[in-house]
Chains A and B, each alone.
Chain A
Amino acid sequence: MDTIADIGGMQGMGKVQYVPPEDPPFHDDTERKIFAMALLSMRTSGTNLDSFRHAINRQHPLDYLADGYWGRWLNCAENLLTDSAIIAPGAVEARARKLRGEDVEEPPAPEPNKPDYKPTAAGSIRQVDYPPKFAVGDRVRAKDIHPVGHTRLARYTRGRVGRVEMIQPAQVLPDTNAHFIDENPQHVYNVSFDSNELWGPEAEPFELHFDMYEDYLEPAQ
């Protein structure tokens, strides 16, 4: 999905918000609770880190921006818990209205329907039994593809040519793992891109490094 989360290179964003000097991880109890509940919702809903990220990315773009970082996490927890039928759609809003004194009927708890899924190991790093398709120094092109589901292939890299800099540990493919289809473990490459390749001849000179799953790459001349 080409979502609002895929924001690399977007212009008109204005200044970066900077909170000096210490900027604690949480600024109030709401943020504390969201952090813990959202992490635990992964377990409660029987999902994984990739589906967690997808549940953040697929929020409505206006919600995504307006609700802020922790708001996105709360919406994500609600998405995961609703998808696995741990809570009913609309349950959070109904409870919230009730808490503030409105007379609303809350939907009953549904029959849970967690994904039929079990990770083959903890974490995302896996061993694969085939050699890497690309070597350090190879010229590669990020495929110009537009997956219908989750992906970590950022739009600003698609179709661009870079150079393999490092071969990273093999990892589960987020595109399939987020949907519980298959872990599809594969080699991952750190690829460098020249800024002119990404942003045209007027770009500032710099080098952009991006981790590419093997399925995202094709050989380039």
Chain B
Amino acid sequence: MTFDTETTRLPLALRTEALESILLERQLVDPKVMDTYIRMYEQDIGPLNGAKVVARAWVDPEYKARLLENGTSGAAELGYKGPQGEHIVVVENTPSVHNAVVCTLCSCYPWPLLGLPPTWYKDPAYRARIVREPRALLAEMGLTLGDDVEIRVWDSSSEVRYFVLPERPAGTENLSEEELAALVTRDAMAGIARVAAPAAV
């Protein structure tokens, strides 16, 4: 698998089909197991899990305290645990502190709470820049932070996974936990956006 400028590399789809045909022919993978993995992350495990955790923390101060004290058991209280969630640390955004998460070395991400990472999180440009010029990069990505806001960037270099508890937007005092969860975005829980107030309440 070395780069060779003399030959054109075969297309990814074809190489994928080739490996699959070898593994299936020799019964080295079970297509049913493959489908189970795919379905799990396509349908069951995604950012809605994290959004429910955030909404619960916003409405239940005792839960929030437990979650910040121990993110792993806090997430597990709502049933969220599994691969890439062995130890979860929840970091809280406040008016004076903004947290952003990255994995510069690959794309480690809290799967049980957020599912598989989005394109921007996996982009080498994000991995390279967020640990060097976070304020400039966040502004470029649409999040402008005041000079008085302290930025903390969490590089996920061990098996610890970081999860951002965003600020609850103003004007949401009368919303239910379910309505609150619907406001929370993946980008806010990874730290590149705020949770926006509902358009009209």
Instruction: Name A residues whose Cβ lies closer than 8 Å to a Cβ of B.
Output: 5-11, 13-19, 23-26, 28, 30, 32-37, 39-40, 44, 53, 56-57, 59-63, 65-71, 74-75, 77-79, 81, 86-87, 91-93, 95-100, 109, 123-125, 152-154, 156, 166, 168-169, 171, 188, 190, 192, 198-199, 203-213
Contacts and interface: CB of A to CB of B under 8 A. Distances in A.
Interface residues on B, range: 35 or more
A199 B10 CA distance: 40
Nearest to A109: B26
16 contacts: A13-B124, A13-B128, A13-B129, A35-B37, A53-B105, A74-B12, A74-B19, A79-B1, A92-B15, A124-B159, A125-B159, A171-B158, A192-B152, A204-B134, A204-B151, A205-B151
A123 B86 contact: yes
Given A8-B105, A188-B158, A190-B160, A32 B13 contact: no
A9 B130 CA distance: 8
A152 B159 CA distance: 11
B158 A211 contact: yes
Contacts of B157: 152-154, 210-212
The DSSP consensus for interface residues of chain A is mixed
Most-contacted residue by chain A among B18, B115, B127 (CB, 10 A): B18
A168 B159 CA distance: 10
Q: Which of B12, B137, B150 has the most CB of A within 10 A?
A: B12
A87 B18 contact: no
B10 A93 contact: yes
Contacts, number: 235
B125 A37 contact: no
Interface stretch (B28-36, B49-57, B58-66, B164-172): B28-36
B197 interface: no
A81 B160 CA distance: 28
